[in-house]
Amino acid sequence: MPRMDLSAARQAKKDEFYTQLGDIAKELKYYKPYFKDKVVFCNSDDPYESNFFKYFALNFNAFGLKKLIATCYNGSPIAGDELPLLFEATEEEPKKIAYKVEITEVADYNGDGAINLADVQYLIQNDKNVLSLLKGNGDFRSQECIELLKEADIVVTNPPFSLFREYLSLLDKYNKQFLVIGNTNALTYKETFRMFQQDKIRTGYTNFNVGMFFQVPDDWEKYHHLENGKKMARVSTSCWFTNLPVSKHNEELILYKHYTSEEYPKYDNYDAINVNTYTDIPCDYDGVMGVPITFLDKYNPEQFEIIDINPHFFALVEQGMPKPKQLSLNSVGQKDPYARILIRKKQTIANNEREKE
């Protein structure tokens, strides 16, 4: 079974991974209270294909949204000069355009006695105020999309993997709440890591190590299975990132193991001990510890302080110092092949401050 990698996709500029409706519903159910009376912006989402748009259209009233906005890059299928058949495929040769959809209310527009996607489709096809063409190509970095971003309260989408750094930096610049899908390797990006240090980002509720299945284009050769005639690929290196509250990051890790120099060797080139898994963090060690990046999925900023990250050591580089090599455990015949987050217990920090007094 071929393995899909978001890093490889990013390098190859293959950004067409379409999130399944079930995965969106599985994560979004935890955040319902934070969406009431909010403007939601899906700024990488063609409503013709996006399950993010469909999810919020279906749950517009249940979430108590004020407005739903979606913009797409110029790849939307349009049959002739007609409006898009939003939830149906078309066999016509599509034109490539960029447009936005803005919805401020969802009701029984088609009079069939139910409120569902058919009403949203009816609304878009019959109300000129709902759908409009964009002047540019719909790139989330374009000025007209940035103006919509300024209006929004919360951004929810699966942004282009190849542009994740830029995307996250834009959300941070405009101080927006967000819930987005990204590569787990983004945990070690300088921009993302700094946001973790500042408690401006955290992982979501969906299991960090499970991965997700995405629909991929028909011309992709690598995929796992067909589902309703669509190619599906499992991406193991995928997770949710958000700055909305996530309860698991308020829970303290229960530390039960005790420190021994044999089990927790010190690095040769940094004053810290190596901890192989976050569950092995010792309860009685006061110094700096190197833990796997998966620690960030359990990180409680009230319990731990994030000091730095190896092998990057961004702070040292910014101070003009040479970029250090990987953390080394040569004294015990090992080398750390993975990135390590350097952390320290905050209780230790507080105790040290009291002792100084």
Residue type, 98: A
How far is the CA of 162 from the CAs of 100, 144, 233, 341, in angstroms? Answer: 22, 21, 17, 24
Q: In this structure, what are the phi and psi dihedrals at residue 309, rounded to the nearest 5 degrees?
A: -140, 140
Local structure of residue 76 (DSSP, 8 states): B
pTM of the model: 0.81
Is 196 within 8 Å of 190 (Cβ atoms)? no
pLDDT in tens, 345-357: 997 545 555 444 4
pLDDT at position 124 over 50: yes
pLDDT in tens, 166-187: 999 999 999 999 999 988 878 8
pLDDT in tens, 208-241: 777 776 666 666 667 565 667 677 666 667 889 9
pLDDT, position 83: 46
Q: How confident is the model at residue 160 (pLDDT cuts 50, 70, 90)?
A: confident
| Separation between Cα atoms, residue 117 and residue 140, nearest integer Å | 25
Is 17 within 8 Å of 158 (Cβ atoms)? yes
Q: H helices of 64-214, where?
A: 117-126, 143-151, 164-173, 190-197
CB atoms within 10 A of CB 275: 23
Q: How confident is the model at residue 93 (pLDDT cuts 50, 70, 90)?
A: very low
pLDDT in tens, 7-26: 443 333 455 667 888 889 99
Is 190 within 8 Å of 314 (Cβ atoms)? yes
